[in-house]
């Protein structure tokens, strides 16, 4: 415990000067015992499946109950081309005005449509008010948004995130990447329960 | 056939036994420090065993690794512990080679999370297997010469 406090104290000056990565993309109590970061790609079909089947129940059972602080990270895969990165940038920009969840839901729900047509902005705009659209478009011109996406990619690659979706669990300052979803997350829930009992 | 009874050889074999035993104890510790589901996910990603068997293995294998590691470090039941370690390492190494040949980018599962199978992990486990086979050979060849065994 003392070691953790000392490590945090040493890190604080670094954190104070760091860019505000992940703003608006976190859900729950930041002081929760577990941090779970989801690295995903808006064009990845498995990410869409996880987002629509596993995540709602996970948020209800673990995030709203204060057990987990959940943060979404961008991990646009090169294989999907530039549209993934653009979608990630829009979602990140929307996060800055507190509309990440809505934009993220829209991008996953209409994945096949915008991936085919390339109409990413139209999908994003459909869940934003005109004033919000203006703000997001202005933010998209800020290189910090693309920088944040790249930061997520670089951070994920170091963990290492090998595929999407990957949920990285941080507990007692140690990160564990989890990319096994063939059982729709049953084993992952058991793992979280096990960590919470420790 | 008898192995050299020279002092440097005996010291080398003893160090090898302690190192491999220590590695097995460490491998067991990092798995036992986590809920078993994490190791089970690693086993399942190899796509070899049905899920219930993967779960059973995830719950039991670390304890077995710990037992083998302790036996090696304390130098008891050396034929049993070295044969068991060699058999385990042969299975691990074969599975890792199989995954690499199939192009699976999965976790090694050797020493906890976050380690992808690569030429480095193959080299490491291959070296451990070679060392373990040597220990096994020494344990059996020198079985009637306890002073000469590691």
pLDDT tens track for A112-136: 999 999 999 999 999 999 999 999 9
DSSP secondary structure letters along A20-48: -TTTT-EES-TTSSEEEEEEE-TT-HHHH
Considering only CB atoms, which chain B residues are within 8 Å of A195? Answer: 34-35
Question: What's this model's pTM, rounded to 2 decimal places?
Answer: 0.85
Cα angle A41-A43-A49, degrees, rounded to a multiple of 5: 80
Q: How far is Cα A195 from Cα A68, in angstroms, rounded to an integer? A: 11
A80/B contact by beta carbon, under 8 A: no
Considering only CB atoms, which chain B residues are within 8 Å of A198? Answer: 35
Average pLDDT of the segment spanning B90-98: 96
Q: How confident is the model at residue A150 (pLDDT cuts 50, 70, 90)?
A: very high
CATH number of the structural domain spanning residue A46: 3.40.30.10
- Residue A26's pLDDT is 94
A162/B contact by beta carbon, under 8 A: yes
Q: How far is Cα B34 from Cα B112, in angstroms, rounded to an integer? A: 8
Q: How confident is the model at residue A15 (pLDDT cuts 50, 70, 90)?
A: very low
Q: Edge-to-edge strand order for the sheet containing A68-74?
A: A26-27, A68-74, A34-40, A166-171, A174-178
- Tell whether A13 is covered by a domain: no
- Tell whether A181 is covered by a domain: yes
A79/B contact by beta carbon, under 8 A: no
Unique residue bearing structure tokens 């970061």: A37
Q: Which residues are paired to A40 by β-bridges?
A: A74
Asked if B38 lies within 8 A of A162 by C-beta distance, the reply is no
Share of chain B above pLDDT 90, in %: 77
Q: How confident is the model at residue B144 (pLDDT cuts 50, 70, 90)?
A: low
Bond prior to A160 in cis (omega within 30° of 0): yes
B106/A contact by beta carbon, under 8 A: yes
Residue A29, domain extent: 19-197
Among B30, B31, B34, the strongest candidate for a mutation testing the A interface, having the largest count of A CBs within 10 A, is B34
Among A180, A181, A183, A184, the strongest candidate for a mutation testing the B interface, having the largest count of B CBs within 10 A, is A180
Q: How far is Cα B7 from Cα A186, in angstroms, rounded to an integer? A: 55
Among chain B residues, CA nearest to A174:
B113
- Residue B135's pLDDT is 95
- Residue B3's pLDDT is 63
Query: Per-residue pLDDT for A74 more than 80?
Result: yes
Query: Per-residue pLDDT for A94 more than 50?
Result: yes
Cα angle A54-A98-A27, degrees, rounded to a multiple of 5: 35
Averaged confidence pLDDT in chain B: 91
Chain centre distance of CA A55: 11
* Number of domain units in chain A: 1
- Residue A21's pLDDT is 67
Residue B114 has its nearest CB partner, among A175, A187, A195, at A175
Contact B35, A191 (CB under 8 A): yes
Q: How far is Cα A70 from Cα A28, in angstroms, rounded to an integer? A: 6
DSSP secondary structure letters along A142-155: SHHHHHHHHHHHHH
Asked if A162 lies within 8 A of B105 by C-beta distance, the reply is yes
Share of chain A above pLDDT 70, in %: 89
Contact A66, A100 (CB under 8 A): no
- Residue B5's pLDDT is 74
Average pLDDT of the segment spanning A64-79: 96
Q: How confident is the model at residue B31 (pLDDT cuts 50, 70, 90)?
A: very high
- Tell whether A103 is covered by a domain: yes
Query: Per-residue pLDDT for A8 more than 70?
Result: no
Q: How confident is the model at residue A137 (pLDDT cuts 50, 70, 90)?
A: very high
Query: Per-residue pLDDT for A11 more than 60?
Result: no
Sequence-distant (6+) residues with CB within 8 A of A25 are A71, A72, A73, A91, A92, A95, A100
Average pLDDT of the segment spanning B78-100: 95
């Amino acid at each position: 415990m003392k070691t953790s406090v000392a490590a945090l104290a040493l890190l604080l000056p670094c954190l104070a000067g760091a860019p505000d990565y992940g703003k608006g993309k976190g859900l729950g109590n930041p002081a929760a015992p577990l941090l779970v970061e989801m690295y995903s790609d808006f064009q990845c079909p498995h990410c869409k499946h996880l987002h629509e089947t596993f995540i709602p129940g996970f948020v209800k059972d673990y995030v709203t109950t204060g057990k987990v602080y959940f943060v979404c990270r961008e991990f646009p895969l090169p294989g999907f081309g530039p549209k993934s990165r653009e979608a990630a940038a829009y979602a990140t920009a929307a996060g800055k005005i507190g509309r990440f969840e809505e934009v993220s839901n829209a991008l996953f729900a209409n994945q096949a449509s915008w991936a085919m047509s390339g109409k990413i902005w139209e999908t994003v705009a459909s869940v934003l008010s005109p004033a919000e659209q203006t703000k997001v478009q202005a933010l998209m011109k800020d290189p910090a948004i693309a920088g944040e996406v790249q930061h997520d990619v670089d951070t994920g690659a170091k963990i290492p995130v090998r595929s999407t979706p990957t949920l990285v669990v941080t507990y007692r300052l140690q990160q564990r990447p989890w990319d096994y979803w063939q059982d729709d997350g049953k084993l992952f829930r058991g793992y979280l329960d096990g960590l919470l009992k420790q | 056939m008898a192995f050299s009874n020279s002092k440097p050889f005996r010291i080398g074999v003893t160090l090898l036994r302690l190192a491999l035993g220590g590695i097995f104890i460490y491998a067991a510790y990092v798995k036992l420090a986590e809920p078993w589901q994490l190791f089970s996910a690693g086993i399942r990603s190899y796509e070899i065993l049905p899920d219930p068997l993967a779960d059973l293995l995830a719950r039991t294998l670390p304890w077995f690794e710990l037992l083998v590691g302790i036996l090696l470090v304390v130098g008891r039941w050396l034929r049993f512990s070295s044969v068991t370690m060699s058999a385990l390492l042969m299975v691990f190494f074969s599975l890792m080679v199989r995954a690499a040949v199939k192009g699976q980018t999965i976790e090694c599962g050797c020493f906890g999370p976050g380690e992808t199978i690569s030429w480095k992990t193959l080299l490491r486990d291959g070296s451990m297997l070679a060392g373990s086979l040597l220990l096994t050979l020494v344990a059996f060849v020198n079985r009637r010469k306890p002073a000469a065994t590691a």
